[in-house]
Amino acid sequence: MRLNADFSKRIVINTNEMPWEASPMAGVDRRKLDRIGDEVGHATSLVRYAPKSYFSPHTHGGGEEFFVIEGVFSDEHGDYPAGTYVRNPIGSTHKPHSEDGCVIFVKLHQFDADDTAQFSVDTANAAFGPGVVKGLSVLPLHSFGQESCALVKWEPGTVFNPHKHWGGEEILVLDGVFSDENGHYPKGTWIRSPHLSEHHPYSEEGCLIYVKTGHLALDQSPNLQQPSWKDTQ
């Protein structure tokens, strides 16, 4: 299967309008956002676990990264409530389940082989730092090589600087409405912008977004600096 597999194109999907599709495991459904391969391969999805559902034990051949959007996701390593960010590197294993049900945003087979950190972040109880413009605050989640991801909180009326995306940018709107000159993106919208795309983002009512940058490069020789959301001064 190849779904939204041309990473040179901008993709915008309101996931609220997508049907849930059954997975091979009863009680586990998916909304597929991009995919290269069938049940094993590069995949970005929303996954919904019904109460008391589980997935079979498996090894992450290409790594797994996920963010818990609703409910509590669990495995033999712990329980991860809404707002938890988890990275399971290549070669890690687990048997996931959910006692009361949950929804997660998950990315599979997208790890650098040298990126071996395994950890989780409870973002609901973590401190955000100042961003580069007034009204913006940032919680860095992970960085390795040219790739980085963070949660970014926008106060109402915040306007960010116009910028280009070296290595591309991927956004999932977790709350509120995120906007740019191309449109308005409510909670549940997934946006994938290609290498060297550009925009001028803002939020009139405020929002919270998951942002991943630098992972969609078409070459390995950057000719411009990927702008940082975080104030490092």
pLDDT in tens, 49-106: 999 999 889 899 999 999 999 999 999 999 999 999 999 999 999 999 999 999 999 9
| Domain boundary assignment for the chain | 19-122, 127-213
CA pair distance 95, 76, nearest whole angstrom: 7
Whole-number pLDDT of residue 229 = 53
Asked if pLDDT for residue 223 goes beyond 90, the answer is: no
Report the CATH number of the 127-213 domain: 2.60.120.10
Asked if pLDDT for residue 25 goes beyond 60, the answer is: yes
Structure tokens at 39: 């049940």
Which residues, in sequence order, are bridge partners of residue 72?
A: 81
Q: What is the pTM of this model?
A: 0.93
pLDDT in tens, 190-219: 999 999 999 999 999 999 999 999 999 754
Asked if pLDDT for residue 26 goes beyond 80, the answer is: yes
Report the CATH number of the 19-122 domain: 2.60.120.10
- Determine how β-strand 97-98 pairs with β-strand 129-130: unpaired
Whole-number pLDDT of residue 38 = 78
pLDDT in tens, 134-190: 999 999 999 999 999 999 999 999 999 999 999 999 999 999 999 999 999 999 999
Asked if pLDDT for residue 233 goes beyond 60, the answer is: no
Longest dimension (CA), the chain: 50
Helix, strand, coil shares, percent, the chain, to 5: 5, 55, 45
CA pair distance 84, 125, nearest whole angstrom: 10
